[in-house]
Chains A and B, each alone.
Chain A
Amino acid sequence: MTCGRTAFVVGIVLVALCTGTAVADAPSGLDSTCQDRPNTVVLFVEHHDRAHTDGATLYPGTVVYVAYCGDGEAESPTAGGQTVWGIGADAGLDNVTREGDTYRAVIPENKESVVLNVDTIRNQSPQNEITVTVQQGPTVQSTLTGTQLSFRSERATSYAANESKYLSARNETRMAADALNQTAQNIRKAGPSAFANEHASTANASLAKLNTSQATADDRAAALQSLLYVRATESTLPHGDHGQALEALHDSERTTTERTAAALDTYRGALRSVERAARQTIITNMAAGLLTGLVIGAIGGGYRLRQYGQKTQDFSDFRGSDFDRSLLTAPVALGLALVVGGLALLIVTGIGGALL
């Protein structure tokens, strides 16, 4: 008797649990929907009670429940281990799994529509046909890849704007690099004077343009990478349009950087040649002055002592004695003063710094 009561209680609990599960899984309103729709396939959208029996437009990734109404009530997909009804692969739904009296499925991204009709519902012959149009996100014609990229809502606008700004900045960077390259070649041909009078300002303008446009291109490229990467990870498409766009962006940046680096190297070489020529001019001029000064100084410095020496030789009183060392004081002091003065002039005018 006790066993019978226990079995009864357990039975009640099991029934309650099973009923609860069924209510939780099945879309609400399923039974009432099926009451006046015999042999009808019905589609419910997750979190929405509305039943679709003819057509709908849904976003990719949307979870739907498909039910089949038999004779006034929802048919269970299986009964006694046998399939009562099913959904064929040609319907176009993703991740179809059974859930209660329905099939749970996901609207795919790589199809334009999903069709549930007599051809795609297995083992039953529905009277109706449901055509789900897959709502694709807004697309952008990418100049980088030459393909159309799909995005969700406002990201398409953001991508288009960023790509446009990136391409504009990239082109400006490349133009500035080309201009710098041309300036470098002109500097090599024209020499230092033309560089200081004309080409330096042109080169500075190109460098400034290069700096600003490169910074803009880097910022826009970072924004594009972010948008593309987020979209690429969201996408369930088998082909990787957004991954390819990331690679195209990477290639574009690399090409620009290589071109810029080459232009900077060429200009650096032109600067070296200008500096070398200028330094050579200074050294030549200084050497001429130094040689002249050296000759004049040596003759002038030695002349007085030669006179003293000859006079000393003429007086026998001094014979055998040392030549007076005080005679050196004045010329050595003068010589040192001139050397210090020369070095000071080199430092003050910047010639010394230019030669180092």
Chain B
Amino acid sequence: MMQVRTVYLWGVAIVVALFAGAAVGQSSGGVASLQTRTADAVSMVRLSQQPLLHISSGVLLGLGIGVLIGSVSMYAHWNRKL
């Protein structure tokens, strides 16, 4: 009877210890990563509220690519024609 009770208590203690350890790690790690991620999300939202910046970047890139495509294709056209 005493042995059964001891085994039972050890079982409860081991389960509690394992569960508590896992829960503590999961919870604190999850909270810390979410705090960092919240700050990142706020930065991203602030950035998304600057449309001129996005459009300017797009225009600049588009101009560069457009000039390259336009000039090279026109050169190729005349080079073939002449």
Contacts and interface: CB of A to CB of B under 8 A. Distances in A.
A159 to B, nearest CB: 16
Given A253-B20, A302-B73, A335-B71, A294 B65 contact: yes
Contact of B66 (A246, A301, A343): A301
Contacts of B9: 229, 232-233, 240, 243, 246
Given A229-B9, A335-B64, A312 B23 contact: no
A192 B45 contact: yes
B82 A318 contact: yes
Interface string A328-356: 10011011111111110110011100100
A200 B72 contact: no
Interface string A242-258: 01001101100110010
A345 B35 contact: no
Nearest to B77: A309
A283 to B, nearest CB: 8
A18 interface: no
A193 B16 contact: no
B60 A193 contact: no
Contacts of A257: 23, 26-27
B54 A282 contact: yes
Interface string B40-75: 011111111111011111111111111111111111
A285 B51 contact: yes
Contacts of B46: 196
Given A225-B16, A261-B26, A278 B45 contact: yes
Interface string A197-226: 000100110011011001100100110010
Interface stretch (A24-32, A78-86, A89-97, A263-271): A263-271
Contact of A298 (B6, B44, B67, B81): B67
B6 A271 contact: no
A286 B54 contact: yes
Interface string B1-14: 10001101100110
Per DSSP, are chain A's interface residues mostly helix, strand or loop, or mixed? helix
Contacts of A23: none
A300 B70 contact: yes
Contacts of B28: 211, 214-215
B57 A279 contact: no
Given A243-B12, A249-B16, A290-B58, A305 B74 contact: yes
A289 B48 contact: no
A332 to B, nearest CB: 6
B82 A313 contact: yes
Nearest to A187: B41
Query: Looking at B12, B47, B57, B69, which has the most chain A CB atoms within 10 Å of its CB?
Result: B57
B51 to A, nearest CB: 5
Contact of B68 (A207, A247, A286, A335): A335
A341 B64 contact: yes
Contacts of B69: 294, 297-298, 301
Interface in A72-114: none
A30 to B, nearest CB: 32
B79 to A, nearest CB: 4
Contacts of B77: 309
Given A200-B41, A341-B60, 12 more contacts: A196-B49, A253-B23, A277-B48, A299-B70, A301-B68, A302-B74, A323-B79, A334-B64, A335-B63, A342-B58, A343-B61, A349-B57
Interface of A: 192-193, 195-196, 200, 203-204, 207-208, 210-211, 214-215, 218, 221-222, 225, 229, 232-233, 238, 240, 243, 246-247, 249-250, 253-254, 257, 260-261, 264, 267-268, 271, 274-275, 277-279, 281-282, 285-306, 308-309, 312-313, 318-319, 321-323, 325, 327-328, 331-332, 334-343, 345-346, 349-351, 354
Q: What 3 pairs between A and B have smallest CB-CB spacing?
A: A297-B66, A293-B62, A289-B58
Interface of B: 1, 5-6, 8-9, 12-13, 15-17, 19-20, 23-24, 26-28, 30-32, 34-35, 37-38, 41-51, 53-75, 77-79, 81-82
